[in-house]
Amino acid sequence: MKKIWYILILLLLTISPSAHAQSDAVIEQNRAIVDFPNSVTFQLGYASETTITDAVLTYEVQQFGCLDAAANVPVEVTGELLSWEWVMIRSGNPPPGAIMHWHWTLTDANGRETITPVQELTFVDERFDWHTIKSGDISMNWYEGKQVGTILLDAAVEGLDRLENEMGIEMVSDINFYIYGDYDEMRDAVIYIQDWAGGVAFSEYNTILMGVPPAIAEDWGRSTIQHELAHLVIGQYGQSCIGGRRPTWLDEGLAVYAEGEPDAETRNSIADNLKNNGFVPLRSLNGAFPAHGDGVGHAYAQSYSVVNFLFETYGTGKMQELLLALAAGNGYDEALEAVYGFNVDGLEVEWRAAIGADPRTIPPTPTPIVAAAVPTAVAQSIPRHMPTPGAASQPPIIVDTPSPNPQPTSPPASPPSASTGICGLGMVPFMLTGIYAFTRKKKKRG
């Protein structure tokens, strides 16, 4: 059982009397005590001669989602020190680097209001001494391994260059990486995370937490950071507040493409499936990928091949159009039809012909009802064998009324549903790409 007490940020900020004469409340202290990632305790002290009858705390963590996440909490007035605790076990926690603002609205016995000045704090994981380096709009924070930050920042910059200049997919907002020295230390920074996760992407904070032991920074770290950066940037570019989603083959194909030249494992998978007529119907890759076994690697490789075909044949402009058509809420077939003039099956026919595969003989599988509901539209890879809804993906969104404990009583039947919502999904743990990449490396070595 990991018990963490990492941070105590004490902000003894403003001691600020009200700006105007609405009320005579004299504020003596206004602070937020952070026990990251578990809780924030807000405290407001005022002078004893002041009679406060009502108090409302308003706080908000800056996000890049579609929802207004400000919370207004009525706080009981029992004495000269008002106190309220935001217990993050209910809401999930924001990542390190997230910025919170808050203020209090006080009403005195005469109905006059005092609004305290807005305060700000940045969440920090103070267990470690972080180094930070930046390049452009990418920040790399790490603490273990001398070269780790440089290696991974170089990889991220290279990946972003490929995304923007070869793939036509531009980054919209700054992205922050927090690289932990191992997986456990990373997981301890997040309340809700599966014990298999090697990283977690907080898409609404444009922040990725990864566990990267220095020994594997150069190989696993490089490719994984490019892959996950791609998911975040694609998610920014194709952000949809009206429920638009992308098929998994597109998201994963783009992310593998963003890793650069396909590695031997990807090339071998494509070659084997060409020889054995082993490709699966593309439509079956609209939704969740296979959870286990060889199918995982083949699904990534096939997706890469399809995306590579789209770029080679139709260029970046069409890909931009496709991403925007999907963001606009069009279905997968509709969006493809509008941009390329074929649906998913038509794409499969063209792609197979282009790579020299035999025409497919099996009939297309119907699109599962849930396929469009798989939360591929969030910026991240989908942990296919784990439930993304419920606790694991409970968005760190602040609500007026705390939601019931989101811990799921049982994993949902496959595949994950979209109950988390496209804009409400704040964090997605990832590992499969890691496993996949790592497997590939091991195979290469072997």
| Interface positions with Zn ion (CB under 5 A) | 252, 255, 381, 433
Closer CB to Zn ion, residue 57 or residue 322?
322
Evaluate the CA torsion angle 173, 179, 183, 184 in order and state its sign: negative
Query: Cβ of residue 239: shortest distance to Zn ion, in angstroms?
Result: 17
Closer CB to Zn ion, residue 193 or residue 378?
378
**Residue nearest Zn ion, CB atom distance:** 381
The answer to whether 92 and 396 are in contact (CB under 8 A) is yes
Closer CB to Zn ion, residue 226 or residue 433?
433
The answer to whether 75 and 382 are in contact (CB under 8 A) is no
Query: Cβ of residue 374: shortest distance to Zn ion, in angstroms?
Result: 13
- For residue 62 the two structure tokens come to 């800056």
Among 319, 277, 320, smallest CA distance to 302 is for 277
Closer CB to Zn ion, residue 50 or residue 381?
381
Helices marked H in 162-247 — which ranges? 183-187, 222-237
Q: Torsion angle of alpha carbons 437, 442, 443, 446, nearest 10°? A: 170
Closer CB to Zn ion, residue 102 or residue 311?
311
Query: Cβ of residue 287: shortest distance to Zn ion, in angstroms?
Result: 14
Query: Cβ of residue 233: shortest distance to Zn ion, in angstroms?
Result: 12
Checking 191-195 for CB contacts under 8 A at 24+ apart, the result is 191/37, 191/38, 191/88, 191/89, 191/92, 191/93, 192/92, 192/391, 192/392, 192/393, 192/394, 192/406, 192/427, 193/392, 193/429, 194/383, 194/386, 194/392, 194/429
Single-letter code of the amino acid located at 425: L
Closer CB to Zn ion, residue 46 or residue 300?
300
With H, G, I as helix, E, B as strand and everything else as coil, classify residue 294. helix
Nearby residues of 369 by Cβ (< 8 Å), 6 or more positions away: none
Closer CB to Zn ion, residue 73 or residue 255?
255
Query: Cβ of residue 240: shortest distance to Zn ion, in angstroms?
Result: 18
Query: Cβ of residue 248: shortest distance to Zn ion, in angstroms?
Result: 9
In total, the chain counts a number of residues equal to 446
Query: Cβ of residue 237: shortest distance to Zn ion, in angstroms?
Result: 15
